[in-house]
């Protein structure tokens, strides 16, 4: 990543406009009207991706230095897919209060904050507190991004198998921040929690789980799920939970073998299986298909039906920044999920429930949908039509892609090294 200029520099005289003495005019105008900071600085298009490195991908607590490459990779995706300028910041603390305080201190410089790779249960408190206290939108991609793209995939998967969200039995395997957020958003969209089950490493959640009741003030979100799901009071493990289930959403221990094919064979006819652990899904897709699942999705790009939050966060933040929304609500996530699901159109099938990241026009569509929902909720900084939002987002994203291609063409970005396979072919 690097910083580049947006303004022309014809000669040294231009420094007098962009820096001293000319810059004082902008400073004084912002002092008189703080909202002018969005017009006279890069705040309008700049976010920070912030992590403490305590739960990085499947690597665990590797610390802020080792986690920095992931944050920079996230910044790359924000820029190329959403046209969003993003600064990677990793913090040398695991203290949730320090993280909250630091984000609040940093917010004057940014138009939004993307929290990343924070361990649970602190990630819930950090997000909820910052959504209440920050004056700019704060988003936790591991929670909200994963939940949004999962909801989009589930919406289309249920269309394929001709089932209704409010009538299906969903089993969530794994109770980390991602799957808890998936359950929360899917329930808010209309799934019946009482029909559904959540399974952690010790079994099915429910009011019978005395181990979680003893820690209810620490594991607040898990205890809430104990009380809202599993109305039949079932106990046991994954095998018992999957009996008769319509949908499996797994974000748990990488496999293969975490989910056994014989367990899938006991699910309801026309079952939907999301096995989204990385780098290896809980069950191989072909095994799930052979066991009777009609729609199978993973988090990987080398299998059909990739369910990955990279499909949504660039478009969501593009829309949030373009309308200057004050927060990101569940309804804005619903709008993004609907736009993403709707982008498949007539190509919808058991092998294609979501578009791919190469279908770049999904991102301005999501941006426009999110911007319209923010206006509807009364949390937007100004008003724009859908067409205005779409065309603006499309223009900004296209500029970012063109800029990257031009720099590659001119040699400012070096050519990619040949892979071992390419060298062998040569």
Catalytic residues, which ones?
A: 19, 74
Which residues is 60 bridged to in the sheet? 56
* Phi, psi at 167, each rounded to 5°: -110, -5
Which residues is 306 bridged to in the sheet? 298
Which residues is 198 bridged to in the sheet? 172
Q: Give the CA angle between residues 71, 327, 396 to the nearest 5°.
A: 60
The token pair at 329 is 């609500």
User: Distance between CA atoms of 421 and 426, rounded to whole angstroms?
Assistant: 9
The token pair at 168 is 């299906």
In 3-state terms, the chain is what percent helix, strand and coil (to 5)? 50, 10, 35
- Whether the bond into 277 is cis, omega within 30 of 0: no
Burial of 74 (0-12, 13-18, 19+ CB in 10 A): buried
Pair 71, 115: CB distance under 8 Å: no
Q: Cα dist. 299→41, 143, 212 in Å? A: 37, 15, 29
Pair 79, 47: CB distance under 8 Å: no
User: Distance between CA atoms of 424 and 426, rounded to whole angstroms?
Assistant: 5
Cα torsion 74, 80, 86, 91 to 10°: value is 10
Coil, helix or strand for 271? strand
Rg (CA), the chain: 23
Pair 310, 78: CB distance under 8 Å: no
Q: What angle in degrees, to the nearest 10, is found between the helix axes of 330-342 and 313-323? A: 120
Candidates 204, 193, 274; CA nearest to 238 is 204
Which residues fall within 8 angstroms of residue 76, CB to CB, at 6 or more apart? 1
């Amino acid at each position: 990543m690097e910083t580049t200029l947006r303004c022309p520099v014809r000669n040294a005289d231009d420094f007098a406009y962009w820096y001293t003495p000319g810059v004082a005019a902008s400073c004084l105008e912002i002092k008189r009207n703080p909202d002018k900071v969005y017009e006279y600085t890069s705040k309008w298009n700049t976010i920070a991706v912030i992590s403490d490195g305590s739960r990085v991908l499947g690597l665990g607590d590797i610390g802020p230095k080792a986690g920095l490459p992931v944050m920079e990779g996230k910044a790359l995706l924000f820029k190329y897919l959403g046209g969003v300028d993003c600064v990677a910041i990793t913090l040398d603390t695991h203290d949730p209060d320090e993280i909250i305080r630091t984000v609040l201190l940093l917010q004057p410089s940014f138009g939004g904050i993307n929290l990343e790779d924070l361990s649970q249960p602190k990630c819930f408190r950090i997000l909820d507190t910052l959504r209440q206290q920050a004056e700019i939108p704060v988003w936790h991609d591991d929670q909200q991004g994963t939940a949004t793209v999962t909801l989009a995939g589930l919406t289309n998967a249920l269309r394929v198998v001709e089932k209704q969200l409010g009538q299906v039995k969903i089993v969530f395997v794994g109770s980390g921040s991602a799957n808890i957020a998936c359950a929360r958003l899917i329930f808010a969209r209309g799934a019946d929690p009482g029909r559904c089950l959540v399974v952690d490493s010790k079994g099915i959640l429910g009011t019978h789980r005395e181990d979680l009741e003893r820690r209810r003030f620490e594991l607040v979100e898990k205890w809430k799920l104990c009380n809202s799901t599993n109305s039949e009071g079932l106990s046991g493990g994954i095998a018992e939970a999957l009996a008769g289930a319509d949908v499996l959403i797994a974000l748990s221990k990488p496999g293969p073998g975490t989910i056994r094919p014989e367990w899938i064979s006991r699910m309801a006819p026309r079952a939907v299986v999301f096995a989204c652990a990385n780098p290896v899904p809980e069950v191989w897709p072909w095994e799930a298909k052979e066991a009777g699942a009609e729609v199978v999705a993973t988090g990987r790009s080398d299998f059909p039906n990739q369910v990955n939050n990279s499909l949504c966060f660039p478009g969501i933040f593009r829309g949030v920044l373009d309308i200057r929304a004050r927060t990101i609500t569940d309804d804005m996530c619903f709008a993004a999920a609907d736009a993403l699901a709707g982008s498949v159109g007539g190509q919808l099938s058991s092998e294609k429930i979501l578009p791919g990241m190469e279908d770049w026009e999904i991102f301005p569509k999501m941006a426009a949908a999110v911007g319209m929902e923010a206006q509807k909720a009364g949390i937007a900084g100004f008003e724009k039509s859908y067409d205005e939002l779409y065309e603006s987002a499309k223009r900004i994203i296209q500029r970012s892609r063109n800029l990257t291609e031009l720099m590659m063409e001119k040699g400012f970005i070096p050519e990619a090294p040949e892979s071992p396979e390419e060298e062998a072919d040569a």
